[in-house]
Chains A and B, each alone.
Chain A
């Protein structure tokens, strides 16, 4: 049993303390924006924000999250996240789309701490978020576009 702060609400979870956050979000709360892709923090499809930092929900046990603020794609709504989502839609980044909520969360975290990232900054921040459809050309362009919109 854990009580966690998820998207600004206290949520009581029945899941055992060693359950990764991803499966509590999905199977218990039916918050399905964070996706299962690898289970080992290798792909970033499950990226959520923990106290504003992008983290992989598939390897974060509930026991490590007391007193943390958890934000999922369903709960994020800031000027930066809105600019990111607008840019993602304008450039039609998504193909299969499965990794894109994780990409959006990682890009939102990047732009929240670095409003004008260079290509190298984008590579550094985004290289852990895999996209099998290889939408990377557009991910890069969308991050620049969102940065311009926020400037």
Chain B
């Protein structure tokens, strides 16, 4: 779009509304003005609105940050409404947990844990079915025919006997006057016409053409840009600020001392950036973390060698291990990781006396709303959030402390001019702000029975706690530390899982697939080691240990079959396999790797089998598996956040490399046919990749790499 949004803020929002979904922005910006525009619409519930021109607007309660949630939610409504996909548009829901809560979370509105389709499956379909029933009732009254004789298909309402037919729009006025039915019948799976088809995504065209609007693209009249100079160490605060040089620079409007750093407010990014570069700040580092990654590694290895707090205990694993004839042990190490979404964190805010307004891609709607309200002494409903696309998140935008959102509010509050303000984090700000996937160390021991099956299994996990408010000293151990390990799928009579929790002062957060990012690596590598220890094929070994776990077994067998497991490979190639359940979804992956004499390697092909229940949109599922593989592979190849004397050593893509196109393998995705309720797809593709790759490298080279990233050099010292 060449014409910038200038005029007024109302004009700006109107522009978003006027051009609508799929045409300009990809979805409509929610705004109070929508209510007046929509007065003539038929809106039987909070999720669907039908206009007199037959346009169907689905109100999406989940943020769209790449996983196809908008498309999926709209599909569920359209299916039961029997709408034509071409007439369906998406509008982002406002922050209002009373209507838009994530049903898997109770009363909070937000997106995460790969739950968008799972929690909305019945709710969105009921919303669509209700609207359909009322349109049918309106047609029956209009045409004086029995409702039971009316059919709806592809956006047309028909009565065959009388030959009457109508679009939705002509029925909305009457439908709006009818009572909302208490109960509606939902379709049976064999009646689905949209669910199960790869319908085109509602967001793609706008994104391809550069028209989709992200937080970064918000320009409001009078808006200034803020950059914040953050301390070099976690827990430090600004002590002395010399801003004389910064204030003299053109375009610099204000310099403000905050708890989180020193903000420069300017006309546009570049003036703010130059102003920030000119600051001279002395930091109060009395409370700062001085963590050093090498020390942390030694500390974690020492802890992993000692008994920890028991998370799960079946039988008597220590006793079985003590008298074992055949046992093995291994230690796996994983570093801190940054989420590194392509759009660094940012937020636009405008404050008034009794109101805060925010424009950004909000993942944790209720959490952010409550945090802002608390900070400003407002009621949550006085905090208005305008939802935008987010340029990736992978968990980062769901910080329970709302770090960057509150920083934006703090700058605006200190500025106290009532004008809109855009907080922009540079890539370096984003990468050095913490909220990392925790570094973890896993020590595993097993003893095997006469048939080679595990008789005892002991896993010790060293990690930071992750859940909001969780502390190392908590009696109940944060489940994100051990999920994927304490629910071990393999049949072991003596199972013990222990945890050591640490508090090194580096903020951590959920990272695409949360605890499963590390537990699956340790578990799926170690079970592979058990198989090799007794000379059994790793696929066959898993198979016999999960024979009573049909959905897990099915993905394992499907991935193996599709990958040609057991067929000959060229010299230097190897295959590895892993299977893991996370976010209610089972995924098995077979990795084929080629290796060079110098230890370098390349992933040639990844075969994925996924059981996520009903496949609402198979192409979106394939895309999420492809993306999950690529996201996980980047971490295996190159990524680690390390600290020296408390200072994060990485800052941009030169030292925290993302995957590149020439590193991307062929990915074949196979979806298990199912009529179960749909489950997550955003995260579950991630966990099996790293262990399957480590297992493939062992198959190719006979060398076991147990420390991520899987670089032969850094693994030599383990």
- Give chain A's interface residues, CB within 8 Å of chain B: 7, 15-16, 19-20, 23, 26-40, 42-43, 45, 72-75, 85, 88-89, 92-101, 104, 122-123, 126-127, 129-140
Q: Could you tell me if B653 and A96 are in contact, using CB atoms closer than 8 angstroms?
A: no
Q: Could you tell me if B342 and A45 are in contact, using CB atoms closer than 8 angstroms?
A: yes
> B427 interface residue, CB < 8 Å from A?
yes
> Which of B252-260, B318-326, B662-670 interfaces with chain A?
B662-670
* Residue from A38, A97, A127 having most chain B Cβ neighbours under 10 A: A97
Extra contacts, 12 of them, besides A27-B225, A27-B267, A92-B619 (Cβ < 8 A), are A23-B269, A28-B268, A32-B217, A33-B211, A38-B427, A40-B652, A43-B658, A97-B391, A98-B341, A101-B209, A104-B210, A138-B623
Q: Could you tell me if A123 and B216 are in contact, using CB atoms closer than 8 angstroms?
A: no
- The number of chain B residues with a CB under 8 A from chain A is 67
- 6 pairs, A vs B, C-beta closer than 8 Å: A27-B269, A39-B427, A92-B619, A97-B208, A134-B631, A139-B661
| A99 to B340 CA separation, bound complex (whole angstroms) | 13
* Closest CB in chain B relative to A107 CB, distance in Å: 11
Q: Could you tell me if A134 and B654 are in contact, using CB atoms closer than 8 angstroms?
A: no
Residues of A within 8 A of B393 (CB): 96
> B167 interface residue, CB < 8 Å from A?
no
| A28 to B662 CA separation, bound complex (whole angstroms) | 36
Contact with A along B195-214 (1 / 0, CB 8 A): 00000110111111111111
Residues of B within 8 A of A40 (CB): 427, 652-654
- Closest residue to A81 on the B side, CB-wise? B209
Residues of B within 8 A of A35 (CB): 214, 216, 342-343, 391
- Give chain B's interface residues, CB within 8 Å of chain A: 1-2, 4-6, 65-68, 200-201, 203-214, 216-217, 219, 225, 250, 267-270, 340-344, 389-394, 424, 426-427, 619-620, 623, 626-627, 629-631, 633-634, 652-654, 658-662, 664, 666-667
Task: Tell which of B390, B623, B658 touches A130, judged by Cβ atoms closer than 8 Å.
Answer: B658
Residues of A within 8 A of B214 (CB): 35, 98
| A126 to B662 CA separation, bound complex (whole angstroms) | 8
* Residue from A37, A101, A134 having most chain B Cβ neighbours under 10 A: A134
* Residue from A28, A85, A96, A100 having most chain B Cβ neighbours under 10 A: A96
Q: Could you tell me if A134 and B629 are in contact, using CB atoms closer than 8 angstroms?
A: yes
* Closest CB in chain A relative to B68 CB, distance in Å: 8
* Residue from B4, B205, B623, B659 having most chain A Cβ neighbours under 10 A: B623
Q: Could you tell me if A32 and B208 are in contact, using CB atoms closer than 8 angstroms?
A: no
- Closest residue to B5 on the A side, CB-wise? A30
Residues of A within 8 A of B619 (CB): 92
| A47 to B652 CA separation, bound complex (whole angstroms) | 17
Q: Could you tell me if A132 and B658 are in contact, using CB atoms closer than 8 angstroms?
A: yes
- Closest residue to A19 on the B side, CB-wise? B270
| A30 to B223 CA separation, bound complex (whole angstroms) | 13
Q: Could you tell me if B211 and A131 are in contact, using CB atoms closer than 8 angstroms?
A: no
| A115 to B136 CA separation, bound complex (whole angstroms) | 54
Q: Could you tell me if A96 and B626 are in contact, using CB atoms closer than 8 angstroms?
A: no
Residues of A within 8 A of B210 (CB): 32-34, 72-74, 100-101, 104
Residues of B within 8 A of A130 (CB): 342, 653, 658-660
* Residue from B250, B389, B654, B658 having most chain A Cβ neighbours under 10 A: B658
- Assuming the contacts A30-B4, A39-B426, A137-B626, asked whether A97 and B207 have C-beta atoms less than 8 A apart, the reply is yes
* Residue from B267, B342, B626, B630 having most chain A Cβ neighbours under 10 A: B342
Residues of A within 8 A of B1 (CB): 74
Residues of B within 8 A of A73 (CB): 209-210
Residues of B within 8 A of A31 (CB): 2, 4
| A28 to B6 CA separation, bound complex (whole angstroms) | 11
**Which 9 pairs across A and B sit closest by C-beta, in order of nearness?**
A134-B630, A33-B210, A30-B4, A97-B207, A98-B391, A96-B66, A95-B66, A27-B268, A73-B210
* Closest CB in chain A relative to B117 CB, distance in Å: 16
Q: Could you tell me if A42 and B653 are in contact, using CB atoms closer than 8 angstroms?
A: yes
Q: Could you tell me if A134 and B209 are in contact, using CB atoms closer than 8 angstroms?
A: no
- Assuming the contacts A88-B208, A134-B630, asked whether A96 and B342 have C-beta atoms less than 8 A apart, the reply is yes
Residues of A within 8 A of B225 (CB): 27
Task: Tell which of B66, B209, B652, B660 touches A133, judged by Cβ atoms closer than 8 Å.
Answer: B66
Q: Could you tell me if A37 and B627 are in contact, using CB atoms closer than 8 angstroms?
A: no
Residues of A within 8 A of B620 (CB): 92
Residues of A within 8 A of B661 (CB): 122-123, 126-127, 129, 131, 136, 139-140
| A83 to B195 CA separation, bound complex (whole angstroms) | 29
| A139 to B627 CA separation, bound complex (whole angstroms) | 12
Residues of B within 8 A of A104 (CB): 208, 210
* Residue from A29, A93, A100 having most chain B Cβ neighbours under 10 A: A100
Q: Could you tell me if B270 and A27 are in contact, using CB atoms closer than 8 angstroms?
A: yes
Q: Could you tell me if B343 and A23 are in contact, using CB atoms closer than 8 angstroms?
A: no
- Closest residue to B633 on the A side, CB-wise? A134
Residues of A within 8 A of B662 (CB): 123, 127
- Assuming the contacts A35-B343, A37-B343, A136-B659, asked whether A97 and B626 have C-beta atoms less than 8 A apart, the reply is no
| A97 to B170 CA separation, bound complex (whole angstroms) | 37
Q: Could you tell me if A36 and B219 are in contact, using CB atoms closer than 8 angstroms?
A: no
| A102 to B606 CA separation, bound complex (whole angstroms) | 27
Q: Could you tell me if B268 and A85 are in contact, using CB atoms closer than 8 angstroms?
A: no
| A23 to B216 CA separation, bound complex (whole angstroms) | 11
* Closest CB in chain A relative to B556 CB, distance in Å: 23
Q: Could you tell me if A134 and B208 are in contact, using CB atoms closer than 8 angstroms?
A: no
| A31 to B297 CA separation, bound complex (whole angstroms) | 47
- Assuming the contacts A126-B661, A134-B626, asked whether A100 and B208 have C-beta atoms less than 8 A apart, the reply is yes
| A61 to B313 CA separation, bound complex (whole angstroms) | 63
* Closest CB in chain A relative to B450 CB, distance in Å: 44
Residues of A within 8 A of B68 (CB): 95
Residues of B within 8 A of A138 (CB): 623, 626
* Closest CB in chain B relative to A140 CB, distance in Å: 7
Residues of A within 8 A of B394 (CB): 132
| A43 to B392 CA separation, bound complex (whole angstroms) | 14
Q: Could you tell me if A15 and B341 are in contact, using CB atoms closer than 8 angstroms?
A: no
Residues of A within 8 A of B270 (CB): 15-16, 19-20, 23, 27
Residues of B within 8 A of A98 (CB): 214, 341-343, 391-392
Residues of A within 8 A of B213 (CB): 32
| A17 to B66 CA separation, bound complex (whole angstroms) | 36
Q: Could you tell me if A30 and B208 are in contact, using CB atoms closer than 8 angstroms?
A: no
| A118 to B225 CA separation, bound complex (whole angstroms) | 43
- Closest residue to A75 on the B side, CB-wise? B2
- Closest residue to A61 on the B side, CB-wise? B270
